Amino acid sequence: MERFDSSPETALKWHRAGKGAALATVVETWGSAPRRVGAQLVISGDGRIEGSVSGGCVEGAVIVEALEAIEEGEARLLEFGVSDEDAFAVGLACGGTIRVLVEPVGSVLPEAILDELVAARVRREPLAYEVNIETGHRALRRNAYTKRLRMDRSGFEEDGQTFVAVHNPPLRLIVVGAVHIAQALVPMAHIAGYDTAIVDPREAFASDARFPGETILKDWPDEAVAKLGLDTRTALVLLTHDPKLDDPALQSALSANVFYIGALGSKRTHAKRVDRMKQAGFTDDQISLIHGPIGLDIGAASPSEIAVAILAQMTAVLRGKA
């Protein structure tokens, strides 16, 4: 599982500490590459590293090139072949080729751009970093490359010169209702790369014993989601079957821009939910965003199977599948 990469933050910190820093980014792959396009490694001027561009296959060579790039103040575009033997060592069946862009901070990657990128990541604001490898033009783009952002897909544009690195906030799942399905869904969501939070004001349900180590909010759901915040990288799942608990959070989500809303219940239960939302003043387009009954129709019966169906549907919606 790939968790949130803190390479930009580390690069900025090392640069400002006077150590010197370079960001190395996988910009293109062929065959069975160890890391996906957009993966990053940060190298300090004194040889420290964080992150990875190859799972260990070519890190040593990238570090050497990065140290020279920091000293010379120039970007470098590197290409490496990953042998079958090295690929197998990092869990892949066969080798491939990767291209890595090395950008020293300050001399090549402007500190102001990196600072703005880091600030946006703190705000959970999706951004695209754009660099033309021929001209050297670099910029951050808001409200652009929407398909790339939705798909978490960094890569070259059709011109073969413009590389776009996607910087999305971590995915987040807010579950209202600390029920059996939640006990199965939350660990699955962690594996899929989500930060999770559980909301339930009922003490008997929302306990550390039932959800060890998890973020639990025992506030009323609308207050809880207001504390957590709702954005384009957030999924909201409603599992209580109780309108008094589900509806306040649901109404908050319908007024926000979350990427997924799912609500447990039968078709009859959902029809009543739709009526309540209409009476609350929501439009048909807004109400159509609610997935209810929740989850893909895979014939799920047990709490664990229902959790699988929910996570599968979340993934389909996130990636733009019908």
pLDDT tens string 27-58: 998 876 667 899 999 999 999 999 988 877 78
Lowest mean pLDDT across 75-84, 251-260, 292-301: 75-84
For residue range 280-295, what is the model confidence (pLDDT) as tens digits?
999 999 999 999 999 9
For residue range 86-129, what is the model confidence (pLDDT) as tens digits?
555 555 445 678 899 999 999 999 999 999 999 999 898 999 99
pLDDT for the residue numbered 86: 58
How much is the pTM? 0.79
pLDDT for the residue numbered 98: 87
3 state SS for the chain:
CCCCCCHHHHHHHHHHCCCCEEEEEEEEEEECCCCCCCCEEEEECCCCEEECCCCCCCHHHHHHHHHHHHHHCCCEEEEEEECHHHHHHCCCCCCEEEEEEEEEECCCECHHHHHHHHHHHHCCCCEEEEEECCCCCEEEECCCCHHHHHHCCCEECCCCCEEEEEECCCEEEEEECCCHHHHHHHHHHHHCCEEEEEECCCCCCCCCCCCCCCCEECCCHHHHHHHHCCCCCEEEEECCCCHHHHHHHHHHHHCCCCCEEEECCCHHHHHHHHHHHHHCCCCHHHHCCEECCCCCCCCCCCHHHHHHHHHHHHHHHHCCCC
| pLDDT exceeds 80 at position 84 | no
- Mean pLDDT along residues 241-261: 94
Residue 228: pLDDT band (50, 70, 90) is very high
pLDDT for the residue numbered 213: 93
Q: Which domains does the chain have, with CATH numbers?
A: 7-167 (no CATH), 171-318 (3.40.50.720)
pLDDT for the residue numbered 89: 54
